[in-house]
Amino acid sequence: MSDPEPESNHYQTLRVDQNASQEEIRTAFRGLVKIYHPDRNPRRVAWAEARMCQLLEAYRVVSDAGQRATYDQRFRRSSVGATFARRMAKKKEDLGAQSKLVLHYLLQDEPERAIELHEKLTLRRVTFSLEHHLDDRDYLDSLFLLGEAYEGRKQWRTALKFYWKAYEREKNGPRKRYFFDELKDRLRVLFSQRLVRGLRPEDVLKNYRRALGVCGENRDAALIYKKIASVQSQLGRPAEAVKALDKAKELCPGMKAIDAMREKIAGA
C-alpha cells in the first residue's frame, strides 16, 4: 500500500519555491499572516480562519527539517504517481497499462474510479483478469482493495468474490501478506452477518460454517457456534443445537447465556 497523497502543496500555500531556505520560508509566513489574519478580515472571518489554519499547517511542516524531508519525499512520489496515471490513461488499448491504472486508483484511495475502469475492462473482454497483467503482489493488493471498494458500496456478494479470491490465493502461500488477518476477519463478517439476511435456515447454516472456516478457534468462532445453536433449535434439532453450544463453551468458557440457552434447548 502507498502513502497517502499530500492534501495540499505547502510550498504553494506559503508562496515559496520548493528549494526555499528556512529564512525565506519564515519571511513568507510572517508576510502572509499579516494578510490573512482574522483581525485584518473582519468581514470574512471564517475564510480568514481557514486560510490561517492552512498557513499554520504548511509552516509547521516545512519549518521542521525532519518533517520537511518526509513531506518532500511524499510530494515527489504523489507527483510521479499523477504523471504515471496520465501516461497509463492514454494507453486505452493496452490492457496491461489499464490494469496498472486500476491498481493506481485503488492505492490513491479513488475506489469509484477503480471500479468504473475495472468494470469497463471486464465488459470489453469477458476473459479479462487483472491476474494476467499484474505481478502476484500487485494482483493480491488489487483483489483486497476491490473487495474493500465494493464493501464500501454495500455490495456484499461482489466484495466476497474479490476477498475470497485473495483468501484462496493467500492461504496456501509460503508467507502471508500483512493484510491476511484483516482479510479473514472481513470474510467472517460477510458470512456470519452480511450474507445471512433473507436466507433459508439451511443456507444460513452453510454461511456460518464458512465463517468458522476462516476465523479459527477463538471468541468469534464461539459466537458463531452460538448462532448455529439458535438456528438448529429453530429447525427442531435440539441435539445439534446443544452440540454447537458445547463447542462455544469449550472455546469461550466465560461467554454469557450459554448455560441458560443450553438448559432451555435441552428441556424443550
| Domains annotated on the chain, with CATH | 1-87 (1.10.287.110), 91-183 (no CATH), 196-268 (1.25.40.10)
Q: Which residues contact 197 (CB under 8 A, 6 or more apart)?
A: none
Block residue for cell numbers 493480491: 140
What is residue 129's predicted lDDT score, i.e. its pLDDT?
96
Block residue for cell numbers 510572517: 30
What is residue 162's predicted lDDT score, i.e. its pLDDT?
98
Provide mean pLDDT across the span 96-117. 91
Provide mean pLDDT across the span 18-27. 89
Q: Which residues contact 150 (CB under 8 A, 6 or more apart)?
A: 115, 156, 158, 159, 162
C-alpha distances out from residue 222 to 48, 76, 180, 210, Å: 55, 49, 21, 14
Output the average pLDDT for the chain. 89
Give tens-digit pLDDT for 124-162. 988 999 999 999 988 998 999 999 999 999 999 999 999
Contact (Cβ atoms closer than 8 angstroms) between residue 164 and residue 184: no
- pTM flag (> 0.75): no
Distance, in Å, from the CA atom of 130 to the CA atom of 144, rounded to the nearest integer, reads 12
Band (pLDDT 50/70/90 cuts) for residue 65 is confident
Distance, in Å, from the CA atom of 248 to the CA atom of 202, rounded to the nearest integer, reads 20
What is residue 6's predicted lDDT score, i.e. its pLDDT?
42
Distance, in Å, from the CA atom of 221 to the CA atom of 142, rounded to the nearest integer, reads 28
What is residue 2's predicted lDDT score, i.e. its pLDDT?
40
Distance, in Å, from the CA atom of 70 to the CA atom of 60, rounded to the nearest integer, reads 13
